[in-house]
Amino acid sequence: MKQYILALDQGTTSSRAILFDPNANIVQVAQKEFTQIYPQPGWVEHSPDEIFDSQAHVMHECMRRAKVCGNELAAIGITNQRETTIVWEKATGAPIYNAIVWQDRRTASFCDQLRADGKAKIIQDKTGLVLDAYFSGSKIRWILDNVPGARARAEAGELLFGTVDTWLVWNFSKRGVHVTDPSNASRTLLFNIHTGQWDDELLAILDVPREMLPEVAPSSSVMAQTHPEFFGRSVPIAGIAGDQQAATYGNGCMKEGMAKNTYGTGCFLLLNTGTTPPVSQNNMLATVAWQTARGYSYALEGSVFVAGAVVQWLRDGLGIIKDSSELEGLAATVPDNGGVYMVPAFVGMGAPYWDQYARGTIVGLTRGTTKGHIARAAIEAIALQTLDIIDAMQKDTGIKLTTLRVDGGASRNNMLMQFQADLTGVVVERPTITETTALGAAYLAGLAVGFWESEEVIARKWKLDRRFTPTMPADRKEKMLYHWHRAIERAAHWIEE
């Protein structure tokens, strides 16, 4: 009987299911968008039930289209939007509040207070993270303090916390298993990346009861079984990794010094730093990349909060394109940006600035500015934000990048990829399979059950689609960077609290 790995890719704006064969080829895909909830400026929420329902729907749809049944599944891998925070009742599985999404900024002032209290260094030393509203810890605390009775119930052991991977496993196992992996745990502000444990001092600082927290199991291990109602039999859930770590694994960046950038809703650049947690002096994040039978791997990460989301905004907010695929063609109607620069800081700026009070800015507008200039400025902004991260990482590690592997929806935009190569002076390599997030989850699950025999076998499956080499003259690059950093200054600290 032919066997497959099913990857569940639960993203910020959609849920997907992708079926892979033993050659790591995509057999079938199903995808479904779900509702984005914006209760007030800077707040972003999802319905936890809609997250699960959409993921279950695409899972069955993918299997149906492929004509594959449950006994042909060797394992399931899960990858997920990270930091998004869900709290639910242990007895019923009912969420007590909407999922608070990673983009949400409601806890910014609490993070400011912790910083004023001198807690930022302790948190960074233990977690590798910059103290910011981006991460799960302050979101958990907000739910406990703002849902009536929640804190007392949490302390009594009646409530559970999970990132989205944990929520999916809890539901697919029919409330049987409460688990996460180190890549997701390391994004909560509660997990010590040096000890590999939830940390009592961090729990006290964030005021989060230990009773709420899931078990932490290796990213590549059989950590749960699906309830028979989903496939007619139990199927092992054998791989979990946060979306960016999964994409790093799926892009074959398993050796120290290899890097990838994912162009999704946000932009996330990870540099594999090997078996030792890195220390950043330039506002990068140290994170667990994954844990396999070989042990822990770590990465340095730079996060851009808004990348592909700026394309959605041009489509849905401004209406200057009807479909995301039109952006490249519109940008090509002009020879350059016409002096227009966009800083898409809709929810603040991530690395290396970490400015939660920045807001989106377009500068350099004239009567001659067209939709084409704005489209081009949006594409350039994605690459310019990535360049800032690469520069900071190279300062931190002394590693001079020569190659950057890319993935995610926007990596199919040839203009963006060429511009990325031009700005960074680094060769950009796009693989034939750009769905590396799902592929990484599949690889971790397959490795755990022997579907693929080793990481070396997995790494050899990476195949090049197209290589982009730098061609931009140095003087033009310097001019662009000068104006870009002027635009950054104008976006910075816009919101006053």
pLDDT of res. 403? 86
> What's the pLDDT at 344?
94
The CA–CA distances, whole Å, from 65 to 27, 59, 221, 229 equal 10, 10, 28, 19
CB 172 within 8 A of CB 226: yes
pLDDT (tens place) for every residue of the chain, 497 residues total:
799 999 999 999 899 999 999 999 999 999 999 999 999 988 999 999 999 999 999 999 999 999 999 999 999 999 999 999 999 999 999 999 999 999 898 999 999 999 999 999 999 999 999 898 989 999 999 999 999 999 999 999 999 999 999 999 999 999 889 999 999 999 999 999 999 999 999 999 999 999 999 999 999 999 999 999 999 999 999 999 999 999 999 999 988 888 999 888 888 899 998 898 888 888 889 999 999 999 999 999 998 888 888 998 999 999 999 988 889 999 999 999 999 999 999 988 988 988 888 999 999 999 999 999 999 999 999 999 999 999 999 888 888 888 899 988 888 889 999 999 999 899 999 999 878 899 999 999 999 999 999 999 999 999 999 999 999 999 999 999 999 999 999 999 998 76
CA 207 from centre of chain: 25
Diameter over CA atoms, the chain: 65
Count other Cβ atoms within 10 Å, centred on residue 450: 10
Cα 294 from chain centroid (whole Å): 24
Q: Which residues are annotated as a binding site for sn-glycerol 3-phosphate?
A: 12, 82-83, 134, 243
**Does some domain include residue 293?**
no
Asked if residue 146 is part of any domain, the answer here is: yes
- Report yes or no on 153 lying in a domain: yes
Using DSSP, state whether 378 is helix, strand or coil. helix
Residue 181 lies in a domain: yes
Answer whether residue 11 is part of any domain: yes
Residues making up the binding site for glycerol: 82-83, 134, 243-244
Total domains in the fold of the chain: 1
Q: Which residues are bridge partners to 41 per DSSP?
A: none
Structure tokens at 486: 């002027």
- The pTM score is 0.87
At what angle are helices 371-397 and 474-491 packed, to 10 degrees?
A: 100
Please give the pLDDT value at position 497: 64
Residues flagged as binding site for ATP: 12-14, 265, 308, 312, 409
Give one DSSP letter per residue of 454-476, joined into a string: -HHHHHTT--EEEEE-----HHH
Is 357 inside any structural domain? no
Which positions make up the binding site?
Answer: 12-14, 16, 82-83, 134, 243-244, 265, 308, 312, 409, 413
In a domain, residue 159? The reply is: yes
Domain holding 149: CATH number?
3.30.420.40
Bridge partner residues of 299 (DSSP) = 272, 287
pLDDT value, residue 169: 97
For residue 472, what pLDDT is reported? Answer: 93
**471 is a domain residue:** no
Residue 33, strand partner residues: 14
Query: What pLDDT is stored for residue 241 in this prediction?
Result: 97
Structural domain boundaries, residue 214: 4-244
Question: How many angstroms separate the CA atoms of 143 and 468, rounded?
Answer: 46
Kindly state the tokens that stand for 421: 């190569």
Predicted local distance difference test score (pLDDT) of residue 29:
96
Q: How far apart are CA 240 and CA 169, in angstroms?
A: 10
Query: Is the Cβ–Cβ distance between 249 and 241 less than 8 Å?
Result: yes
The answer to whether 258 and 97 are in contact (CB under 8 A) is no
* Range list of H helices, 173-221: 182-185, 200-206
